[in-house]
Structure 1
Amino acid sequence: MLQDLYPGDGHNWRSIIFSLMVIGFVIAGIVTAIYLLGYVDELLYWSGRRMRLDEFLRGDLTGERLPTTWVSSHQLVYQADDGGLLALDTFNNTLTVLVTNHTLSGIPTTPFNRQHNALHVTAMLRILHVPSGSHHIPLFGEGQSSWEWQHASWLGTKGALILAADNEVLARPAPPARRAPLLRLTTDASPGRVYNGVSDWLYQEEVTKTSSATWGSSDGTFVMYVQYDDSKVSELMFPHISNGIGGAGATRSGFLLPTLNSSLPSVFPDHVSIRYPTPGSSIPQAKLSIVAVQNVTSPPRWEVKPPDTLDGMEYYLISAQWVGKENSHIGVVWMNRAQNLTVYSSCYAPNWTCTETHSEKATEEPWLEVHEQPVYSEDGSAFLLLAAVQEGGGQYYTHIKHVDVLRQRMAVLSHGKVEVAKILAWDQENHLVYYLGSAERPGQRQVYVVRDPSYGGGSNSVRARAEREEPRCLTCELAVWPARLHYANCTFWSATFSPARPKLGITHYVLECEGPGPPLAGLHDARTHKLERILYDTRPYRSVRLRELALPTRRSFDVQLSSGSKARVQLFLPPSWREELRDAAFPVLVQVDGRPGSQQVTDEFLLDWGTYMSSRNDVVYVKLDVAGARGLPRALLRGRLGGVEVADQLAVIRYLLDTFKFLDVTRVAVWGWGYGGYVTAMLLGSQQSTLKCGIAVSPITDWLYYNVAFTERILGQPSVNYKGYVEADASQRAHHVPRHALYLIHGMADMSAPYPHALQLARALTDAGVLFRYQAYADEGHDLKGVIEHVYRSMEDYLRECLSLDPEDTKLPPPDR
């Protein structure tokens, strides 16, 4: 009898099922791993191609455009999308081509200036006759082509011109009298010493920040101009190797350099000198004059002197303007050398004697800012100005003050924690003041409107005061306007308002959206705020080139520091960055500045070097605003530089590295230009571990040798605050800079931060035995415009080594699905 040793059906089903389950789990794990790896890999892809350096340098991705300008209460001139100049008549909604894009592209233009009679447009040194667009009238006659032409502006309404050439002021009759002789209004200019009608170097750089110093009366009978006498101002000399001293900026600004010193043999480099006032030394003497132009042979002249308040004081002449239509009243603003007193004055014909109408004094604020010129009422009895006003919490903000000269009253029109950037217009017929302010976020710009004190007949009733005192944000209300479809997400605005019409006031304005997206502009009715026409639009759907680019994502936020200070931060996150990539580590490049009154973190649309570096090299690019920046407290900077603003920027960098895990703490670099170069050197000399390297472009080193207006504003006179000057000297920290951590770049013809600053820092580093990289450019100014591509390529090459950047695109686009 046989016995079955294997009972059952001959199969171990339990073992088979278990084995199949194990195999299934393994396969599922492999599939899941493949999927996850593919998902993570897909996160590294981005839409569009990386930006190229030449695209940034050309600046044509959004297009530079001339400013939009109202030339009458119903005529507007603007540059269209195709580049041509158009005139829009708001009466009948018609467009006229003033200058075609082809004609305009062939002329090297500065911002155009259009005559009220709509017949002529100035463009550098020629006059374009608008009806044909082809009649070019030279501004100079025979024997004058060798003059150095610096400035041209209209005189009156019939086409006459005020000219500046070789530091002299001239007048030219109206076209078509093209052969009429020029009238010389001044004859006492001296190369490098005396400037008539054009600003000297200091005023162009730091005070008025404009090259022109001439103003014609509305009827064309008077010319007001400033003479700057630099005879007692100290000289700065720099070597001249080839043509182009100071870079293109010197020519663009209208600043006329003296002729070369040819005393040395030609085999050696020559030199050029400019008048450069430093702290504690003599400053330029500014003299305001008025000359009548009717008398060709011997035009009468009057000197306009400051009011008695400034007797015995050195001063800066801040602004001058004609007031009203009678051409018998001018408004002049003066500031003492210490920059803690600003005097507003009115000067009247026939003797043009000035009397004080208002003054601003720095009490708790460390200094007074130089603001735009005041806005006067039509009869000159009142004016608007910008000044610091203390708000809740003790911080000062820039607000609008209304000064009634006749009643000797002053009222503050704007209020709150809003920084007013600009007075846009004053509609006196409707008692409305329009202005540009920062709203809830300091980096934004919104358009506001508020009633002036004369609204309601100047009544002090509760209702009248409430309506006067409550500003209204026009651009904040776009969410309820039909125009929101065009202006979606716009938070950075500018605006231009039409001149007032009799009995109607301002009827139209142009809103220009400048960020965070690409710019566009529209014409609006001032009474209903209705959008009537889009003037230009550079948004991506109109620009194929922008759509092709893989651009970084911007994020802005505030950081509260342990010291009690607050900072503003903006991150440029590279195209390959994703929220899901929590373990990724991106290199960090921080752009530092800290110059008092500056502002880096805004919503303005920019395609700058930071955009390029983030797009091209997968860098997290960082911008900072700390104490002293616009809208942030600056009291701690009184008598000090390189202290609190440097410490705050270092604290912000450390906070970011601790907070955001996608930032690689081992690859952090800083860089800055001018004041930012100074901060870079101070930062590298203040730490040993946080920063790996830094680039200082045209840095300031020793404040004893920087310009007098900026330096004395904060540090005061060296004889009073010498300790502050020594502590702010960047060369004092040279021995703390790590080896190979600093890249120093400077232009030898830099007139803003002269080359001895870089040489002094280089010598201090050398004496301390610190190895560093140094690059100098002959005959280049502060902006290094003539070699800018070489500068940026050199900086990128240095950062590739310091931050271990990928030299080229290493990631392929995702496969087609």
Structure 2
Amino acid sequence: FWSSNNRYRYLSPYLCSSHMQAFVWENDVYVKTSPTAKAIQVTSNGKHNNILNGIPDWVYEEEMFSSYEAMWWSPGGRYLAYAEFNDTLVQNIEYSWYGKEQYPDTVIFPYPKPGTPNPVVKLFVYDTVNISNITEVVVPASVGAGDHYLATVTWVTDERIAVQWQKRRQNELRFQIYDFSIVGNTWIENKLDMTSKTGWIGRFSPSNPTLSADKDGFYIVMSDNNGYKHIHHVTGVTVTSGTWEVIDILKVTSNTIYYSSNQYGHKPGGRNVYKITLGATPPTTQCLTCTLNEDRCQYNSAYFSHDASFFRMDCSGPGLPLYTLRDNRDAEMQVLEDNMALEGLLSEIHMPTMRRDLWYQMTLPPGFDKSKKYPLLIDVYAGPCSQKADYRYRLGWAAYLASTEKVIVASFDGRGSGYQGDKLMHSIYRRLGTYEVEDQITAAKEFTNMGFVDKGRIAIWGWSYGGYVTSMVLGAGSGVFKCGMAVAPVSKWDYYDTIYTERYMNQPSENLEFYKNSTVTARAKNFKSVQYLLVHGTADDNVHFQQAAQISAALVEEQVDFEAMWYTDKDHGLDGSANQHVYTHMSHFLQRCFSNE
């Protein structure tokens, strides 16, 4: 984790099954062969903000690994794989940390932005038996010839490791299997190449492969020839198919794969757990959760025991969440334990409904009367592969607004959203800020045609990418929205990080027109006709305060009157007291916007 001022970084011990420990101290990797043994220093080139061993730098932690660890033990515990990140050429981001001292501090760390140098990553394997033996798992020449990324690392045995490498553009991927050869002390390569012709590989970063029971292969979720995410064997053989998507592989046994998908009823916002038996011809598929508490449970996942004899069914909605332990050996999947103690809903929930082949969701006030007119708030995210309309139960700000302020809160999944095939998701490839923005405006117009929405009281709000879309919508000058609130918004994609931005937009030199046209600042003059609240934390290490500062500068230049709120030393999540404050502040802003005075 980061220290409070983001200057120092620590990593808790990473244990393997043989009671060995690996940890990182001051950017170097150490190994202990037992809890009482002296730590062995594996690397010695670690340097703050330059060379990181065993832990990812900022951009890898945020956009590729979603973890602060970059070490992987082999199954038997003999080998430790670790990544080295060289940020020497990466430019730094700086911002003030105000704290409580007389002079503010300055936070500095490497943060690559589109078109600028990326971290250079290498993968090494340390031998705990022969401690002088550290070998590099070399990136394939076809990928390593240019800028590239280390995507995933998965051990099969102590002598076999699978690695996914990506080119910087992220539409090509090499699935590389390395076998250790004692002769020559090297890793011998076997490969599988994947390419996307319509966009990027995966939903976000490439999915982790799941080892087959015989440890002789892998299963992975990737796009099929029709552009839907399905299970494939590493040889390229398709295991599932259809105009629906596999979400995750949950468990693999000798002849069975358990997975979650939105297959049941082809409802993108639903989730159920399936098992497919591979030994049958053709393979047979069974849904384990489709008919279990169906009125209450339409968004399900599962966590399986070691041999899949039992599983915990995780029901997340539309009713109150429910967790049950079930016997998978029994055809009826008998309930062993559940937690059905909570009952009741705060407000009526109108679940996703198909409209023009796209999905929306509404939270309606209690006692909703369709003959009346209600103010409407669009709750938007709309980033690539996002999903806001689903069957999960939520009890948050939307429920408060509906129940207390009598506001309808709606969300809509337009072009660019996920879990409905690559054609829809990749429609915003290389053109962020276009179709997903247009679709939110169109959705608002469609909602007014339902008869119960007050056309003069429509607002929109979002956080992060949602704040960007909110700002782009308000800056479109559509005349549909009276006001909007943008929390921690992107203003210009040149200011965001390489891995995320270039995945969807490529580098600026390759897509200059859309980099120019996708900025909030270019739409500043259109904000004169709306009420706008801009919110940001001054210590946002993700979407930097620079983004909000540039929006503010552009609005001032155009003499636009707007409201702004900053949160001192708060990051992207605005945690602690700031979290309650921001929702209270936005509620007051919305009350003024919807006032008839």
CA contact (8 A) 2:481 2:530 kept: no
User: Could you tell which deviates more after superposition, 584-593 or 608-617?
Assistant: 608-617
- Structure 1 CA distance, aligned partners of 2:500 and 2:337? 39
Partner of 2:559: 769
Report Cα offsets for 1:424-447 as digits up to 9, x if no partner: 11112xx11111101210000011
Partner of 1:553: 349
Structure 1 residue 767: Cα displacement: 0.7
Partner of 2:242: 416
Contact 1:331 1:346 in 2 (8 A): yes
**C-alpha distance in 2 between matches for 1:752 and 1:535:** 41
Task: Return the TM-score normalized by structure 1.
Answer: 0.68
Structure 1 residue aligned with 2:358: 567
Measure the CA separation in 1 of the matches of 2:444 and 2:122: 48
Quick one: distance in 1 between partners of 2:405 and 2:509?
48
Q: Tell me how far apart the structure 2 counterparts of residues 666 and 475 of structure 1 sit (CA, whole Å).
A: 44
Moved more, 432-441 or 488-497: 488-497
* 1:443 match: 269
Partner of 1:353: 187
- Residue segments in structure 1 that go unaligned for 5+ positions in a row: 1-109, 111-123, 125-145, 244-265, 405-409, 457-463, 479-483, 501-505, 561-565, 807-817
Find the aligned partners of 2:16 and 2:514 in 1 and give their Cα distance. 48
Matched residues in 2 for 1:353 and 1:642: separation?
A: 44
How many percent identity over aligned positions? 28
Whole-Å Cα distance in 1 between the matches of residues 583 and 107 of structure 2? 27
8 Å CA contact 2:299–2:315 kept in 1: the answer is yes
* Alpha-carbon distance change, 173 to 535 in structure 1, aligned in 2, over 3 angstroms: farther
Corresponding residue SS for 1:785: coil
Match for 1:627 among 415, 419, 427? Answer: 415
Counterpart CA distance in 1 for 2:337 and 2:136 is 45
Indicate yes or no: 2:300 matched with 1:493.
Answer: yes
In structure 1, the partner of 2:197 is 363
Letter in 2 for 1:149: Y
User: Does residue 518 in structure 1 map to residue 314 in structure 2?
Assistant: no
**TM superposition shift of 1:520:** 2.2
CA distance in 2, matches of 1:278, 1:510: 42
Unaligned runs of 5+ in 2: none
Distance 1:499 1:414, change over 3 A: same
SS of the equivalent of 1:424 reads: strand
CA distance in 2, matches of 1:671, 1:267: 37
What is aligned with 1:241? 98
Q: Once the two structures are superposed, what CA deviation does each residue of 1:135-188 show, in whole Å capped at 9, x if it has no partner?
A: xxxxxxxxxxx995323332224x33222333332234545x4xx433332222
Q: 1:444 to 1:732 in 2, by over 3 A?
A: same
Residues 573/534 of structure 1: CA separation in 2 closer, same or farther (3 Å cut): farther
Counterpart-to-counterpart distance in 1, 2:8 and 2:104: 26
Does 2:397 correspond to 1:606?
Answer: no
Q: Does residue 1:314 correspond to 2:147, yes or no?
A: yes
Deviation track 1:463-519 (CA, whole Å, cap 9, x = no partner) reads x2xx22x5332222x3xxxxx4x565311111122223xxxxx42222221211222
**1:416: how far off?**
0.9
RCO higher in structure (CA 8 A, sep ≥6)? 1
Higher mean displacement: 610-619 or 720-729: 610-619
- 1:284 matched to 2:86? The reply is no
Offset of 1:534 from its aligned partner? Answer: 4.1
Cα distance between partner residues in 1 of 2:400 and 2:253? 43
Alignment-derived partner of residue 257 in structure 2: 433
| C-alpha distance in structure 1 between counterparts of 2:9 and 2:551, whole Å | 37
2:95/2:106 contact within 8 Å kept: yes
Q: Give me the whole-angstrom Cα distance separating, in 2, the residues matched to 1:630 and 1:803.
A: 32
User: Offset at 1:417?
Assistant: 1.4
Q: Distance in 1 between matches of 2:366 and 2:305?
A: 42
Superposed counterparts of 1:750-789, under 5 Å: 750-786=540-576, 787-789=578-580
Match of 1:708 among 482, 498, 503: 498
Distance 1:641 1:450, change over 3 A: same
Q: Which of 82, 88, 113 in structure 2 is aligned with 1:225?
A: 82
Write the deviation string for residues 26-68 of structure 1: whole angstroms up to 9, x where unpaired: xxxxxxxxxxxxxxxxxxxxxxxxxxxxxxxxxxxxxxxxxxx
> Does structure 1 retain, via aligned residues, the 8 Å contact 2:20–2:34?
yes
Deviations 1:204-243 (A, max 9, x none): 1111211111111222222111111111111110011017
Matched, 1:584 2:372: yes
Cα displacement (A) at 1:740? 5.6
Q: 1:748 to 1:666 in 2, by over 3 A?
A: same
Q: CA deviation at 1:771?
A: 0.5
Counterparts of 2:53 and 2:259 in 1: how far apart (Å)?
33
Shift of 1:200: 1.1
Shift in Å, 1:526:
2.8
2:159 is the counterpart of 1:328: yes
Aligned partners of 1:190, 1:318: CA distance in 2, in Å? Answer: 23
Amino acid paired to 1:433: I
Distance in 2 between residues matched to 1:520 and 1:699, nearest whole Å: 34
Q: Distance in 2 between matches of 1:299 and 1:509?
A: 44
Residue 646 of structure 1 corresponds to which residue in structure 2? 437
> How many residues are matched?
583
Q: Which residue of 1 aligns with 2:133?
A: 300
The higher radius of gyration belongs to: 1
Distance 2:233 2:33 in 1: 39
Per-residue Cα deviation, 1:501-546 (whole angstroms, up to 9, x for no partner): xxxxx42222221211222222333343443444441x4xx23xx6
What is the deviation of 1:619? Answer: 1.1
CA distance in 2, matches of 1:497, 1:153: 23
Tell me whether 1:722 sits opposite 2:512 in the alignment. Answer: yes
Question: Partner of 2:591 in structure 1?
Answer: 800
Which amino acid in the other structure matches residue 203 of structure 1? Y
Give the counterpart of 2:286 among 465, 472, 481.
Answer: 472
Measure the CA separation in 2 of the matches of 1:488 and 1:226. Answer: 47
Cα deviation per residue 1:53-96 (whole Å; 9 max; x = unaligned)?
Answer: xxxxxxxxxxxxxxxxxxxxxxxxxxxxxxxxxxxxxxxxxxxx
Question: How far off its partner does 1:559 sit?
Answer: 2.0
The CA distance in 2 between the partners of 1:600 and 1:170, in whole Å, is 43
In structure 1, C-alpha distance between the alignment counterparts of 2:596 and 2:319, rounded to whole Å: 28
1:693 equivalent in alignment to 2:483: yes
CA distance in 2, matches of 1:386, 1:519: 27
In structure 1, the partner of 2:40 is: 183
Q: Distance in 2 between matches of 1:662 and 1:152?
A: 57
TM-score for the superposition, normalised by structure 2: 0.92
Q: Is the 8 A contact 2:351 2:390 kept in 1?
A: no
Instruction: Give the 3-state SS of the residue equivalent to 1:288 in structure 2.
Output: strand
The amino acid that maps onto 2:14 is: S
Q: Aligned to 2:69, which of 197, 208, 212?
A: 212
Report what 1:55 is aligned to: none
Name the Cα RMSD after superposition: 2.3
Paired residue type of 2:210: V
Query: In 1, are the aligned partners of 2:384 and 2:425 still within 8 Å (CA)?
Result: yes
- Given that 1:684 and 1:738 are in contact with CA atoms closer than 8 Å, whether structure 2 keeps it comes out as no
Partners of 2:448 and 2:464 lie apart in 1 by: 26
**Secondary structure of residue in 2 paired with 1:681:** helix
CA distances 1:366-419 after superposition (whole Å, capped 9, x unpaired): 55542321112244432111111243xxxx211111134xxxxx3111111111
Which letter maps to 1:201?
A: W
Report if aligned partners of 2:212, 2:218 keep a CA contact under 8 Å in 1.
Answer: yes
Q: Deviations over 1:6-39 (max 9, x none)?
A: xxxxxxxxxxxxxxxxxxxxxxxxxxxxxxxxxx
Per the alignment, residue 113 of structure 1 pairs with none
